[in-house]
Chain A
Amino acid sequence: MSASGTQPTPMATVSAGALPGPSLAQQLHRAERRKKWRALALTLPLLAFLLVFFLVPLASLLVRAVENPEVADTLPRTGQALADWDRVSPPPAAAFAAVLADLSALEETSQAGALARRLNSEVSGARSLVMGTYRALPLGDNLSTDEARARLLEHDARWEELPYWQAIAQNSSRWTPDYLLASLDLKRTPQGDIVKVGPDEAAFSDILLRTFQISAIVTAIALLMGYPLAFWLSTLSERKANMLLILVLLPFWTSVLVRIAAWIVLLQNNGLVNRFLMFLGATDAPIPLLFNRLGVVIAMVHILLPFMILPLYSVMKSVPSNYLRAAVSLGSPPLAAFFRVYLPQTYPGVAAGGLLVFITCIGYYVTPALLGGPADQMLSYYVAQYTNVEVNWGMACALGGVLLTTTLVLYALYRKVSKSELSLG
């Protein structure tokens, strides 16, 4: 998006030797600036589009991942009352009175609902505790702090349990690292130390690792299958190559869902593939090809293969065939010539195709959701789960942030390794 147009034009050199007014240099400068502005104006629609549909949502996503307004908005007095609490001894009676006062001051049920949801994602049971108490209000007029404590405990004895108070105290600030920590299987203890969560809850590091594993396998297979094909295509005449490229592109234009449904038909226990294998006698019982890792990888390779073939093909087209012939005529065995002369020249294509496929894979959602088991779901599945099912958008945004960060890191790494100026736009 660099603004072009830094060369001086003949236009600017016209005129004005003896006339009073701005000097030639100034005029030149002005004309140049005008050109720059014009160039910038041309990119404005694109910039505005990127800003509105890309950067702003991305920024708001990242903000949501650390935003924590619910407790701070609804329980300000309680937050103050708990400020000096050591978080291990029973909370001060003033905190009980503050909870009652804060809950009574809420204007709408929805505020209590938001508070209940937030606390419940920290401590299971907080939802019924908060909503139950809120619905039971008022518990009495002009209560002293001790009376308030007694009334609350009388209403629900769970108010005595420390985890609820710890959750309130920990979340009374407006910003929180908790979602991001949770997306890395870490948590804060009530004392503020960062520790790993127990094995029963640790899910996301496995899921992230699995996301990378599946993406790496799919990329490797796509490369192994795509490279020979692209090579063959690049050696054909223009006409034939175009015909065959259409075959590559045809599935590319079919809806992903349709292709997944087709794979379900093919791969199921009574499907074509299994029937054929059993007909050949290769197996007695159907091989499970669906709802496991194998099915996910097969379908993803199929869907992403064009992303590998097209960059490879375009790079291979630009590699002159003379080099290979020259190497052979100078006495190199054909295979050695291929690996030492041809292959290195296609590295930009390999890198571009590999990166494109890998990055697309990382964000894959629908294919594993439909073709995989619970152990084959990738990170996006959980983003969707937290967005749609749990309606815990902070957690969803934190996971999205992790996905975004890893993608950016990979891209930076790639730029560093490849040193090429190849841009994916």
Chain B
Amino acid sequence: MKLKPVLMAVAVLASLPALAQSTLTVVNFGGANGAAQKKAYFEPYEKSTGGKITAVEYNGEQAKIKAMVEAKKVTWDVVEVESPDLSRGCDEGLFEKMDWAKVGNKADFQKAAVHECGVGTFVWSTVMAYDGDKLKTAPTTWADFWDTKKFPGKRGMRKGARYNLEFALMADGVKPADVYKVLATKDGAERAFKKLTELKPNIQWWEAGAQPPQFLVAGDVAMTTAYNGRIDAAQREGKNLKITWTGGIYDLDYWVMPKGTPNKDAALKFIAMASSPDAQAEYAKNISYGPTNNKALTKLDAKVLGMLPTSPANSKDALQFGIAFWADQGEALEKRFSAWAAQ
């Protein structure tokens, strides 16, 4: 029954082909990130090419792209997707193959940013965050996050299995490098859920990325997991929120082109522009997500660099998100999480 609005939306969008021809539709996750993209990518693109960009927000629902591609009425030209959706969508033929010759030199980019269907656009991290005014001693590890005696109060965590199982294992003493090896075994998954159960009475779940900083500011939780850019945005508003980078999980978001987009050339031009060192450096100044084009790093000062998940100090004890692991195990683990949450 949930499909109906999607199909209807597609039908409505499909009836506006003239609009789709003259402008480029770029889809992102909105929020602080969307604002930074507008400033660093959309406005310069409009100025330099004279074309128009229609920015659309979504929540990462691949169902919308799938419905468009299957109906052969593609109205989204460039879409920002998360890494598991990139590999899954690429396998299932939802995206155009990336024409790297038109985007840039592969060698300039971080290894993970180069994909046959997409170009990595920024590096972000899921980290531990707390309010510097309320916690006198800083928590330094995930074991601290689990220690409700030493740090009383609730803990904010994302509603779902992803990230939380990794954090639970790290809190249980597993080294970041071994997390996915352990989690892939039956005992490892058992161990992660058991550790989560310890903390369960103290967890306040969040759903949207904007919620964790709100929880912290409102004093609802003592610590929370959060996307580092959202904490950065709150800091820019003058809140004394702090990040513990140890054991953070970093990941990339990618630009893709849904298969069958009528504006492929313009889309490629946009992606190339948005992947250039200048544009990426400007983006990183507006939100603390790391550039994927290594040449952008040289254009940033030490203060900005120190806030990025990609800086050496911040990435030292971090874990790269296991795309392959979650592509295989995601559905089963998420279902198990639902069963676990209900108990």
Contacts and interface: CB of A to CB of B under 8 A. Distances in A.
A369 B92 CA distance: 29
B335 interface: yes
Interface stretch (B1-9, B17-25, B106-114, B223-231): B1-9
Contact of A131 (B91, B220, B329, B334): B91
A108 B90 CA distance: 12
A114 B91 CA distance: 8
Given A116-B91, A391-B62, A128 B328 contact: yes
Contacts of B2: 380, 383-384, 387-388, 396, 400
Interface string A374-413: 1101001011110111111100110010011000000000
Nearest to B8: A53
B264 to A, nearest CB: 18
Given A268-B218, A269-B218, A291-B205, A390 B330 contact: yes
Interface stretch (A76-84, A117-125, A345-353): A117-125
B327 A128 contact: yes
B61 A388 contact: yes
A269 B88 CA distance: 40
B240 to A, nearest CB: 17
B328 A127 contact: yes
Interface in A264-286: 268-270
Nearest to B66: A391
A359 to B, nearest CB: 13
Interface residues of A, number: 57
Interface stretch (A85-93, A165-173, A199-207, A336-344): A199-207
Contacts of A363: 1
Interface string B117-156: 0000000000000000000000000000000000000000
B338 A391 contact: no
Contact of A124 (B94, B205, B328): B328
A207 B327 contact: no
B205 A392 contact: no
A384 B218 CA distance: 30
B324 interface: yes
A57 B10 CA distance: 14
Contacts of B90: 109, 113
A109 B259 CA distance: 13
B198 interface: no
Contacts of A109: 90-93
A117 to B, nearest CB: 6
A203 B338 contact: yes
Contacts of A110: 91-94
A370 interface: yes
A151 interface: no
B92 A113 contact: yes
B88 A124 contact: no
Contact of B338 (A113, A117, A374, A403): A374
Given A131-B91, A268-B218, A393-B3, A370 B331 contact: no
A188 interface: no
B220 A269 contact: yes
The CB with the most chain B CB atoms within 10 A, among A120, A199, A370, A396, is that of A120
Given A109-B91, A117-B88, A404-B1, A374 B341 contact: yes
B324 to A, nearest CB: 6
Given A109-B93, A110-B93, A61 B1 contact: yes
A210 interface: yes
A114 B331 contact: no
Interface in B176-229: 204-205, 207, 218-220
A112 B339 contact: no
A373 interface: yes
B159 interface: yes
B101 interface: no
Given A114-B92, A269-B219, A387-B63, A57 B336 contact: no
Given A109-B93, A270-B218, A383 B1 contact: yes
Contact of A125 (B62, B159, B329, B339): B329
B336 A291 contact: no
B4 A57 contact: yes
A108 B337 CA distance: 34
A58 B1 CA distance: 7
B332 interface: yes
A394 to B, nearest CB: 12
Given A113-B91, A127-B328, A403-B1, A210 B61 contact: no
Q: Which 3 A-B pairs have the closest CB atoms?
A: A110-B93, A113-B92, A374-B341
11 contacts: A110-B94, A131-B91, A203-B342, A268-B220, A369-B207, A370-B207, A382-B338, A388-B2, A389-B334, A391-B63, A397-B3
Interface of B: 1-4, 6-7, 59-63, 66, 88, 90-94, 159, 204-205, 207, 218-220, 324, 327-342
Interface of A: 53, 57-58, 61, 108-114, 116-117, 120-121, 124-128, 131, 199-203, 206-207, 210, 268-270, 291, 363, 369-370, 373-375, 377, 380, 382-385, 387-393, 396-397, 400, 403-404
Given A127-B327, A127-B328, A388-B59, 20 more contacts: A53-B4, A61-B1, A117-B92, A120-B327, A120-B328, A120-B331, A124-B329, A127-B88, A201-B335, A201-B339, A268-B220, A270-B219, A369-B207, A373-B204, A374-B338, A374-B341, A380-B2, A389-B60, A390-B334, A404-B1
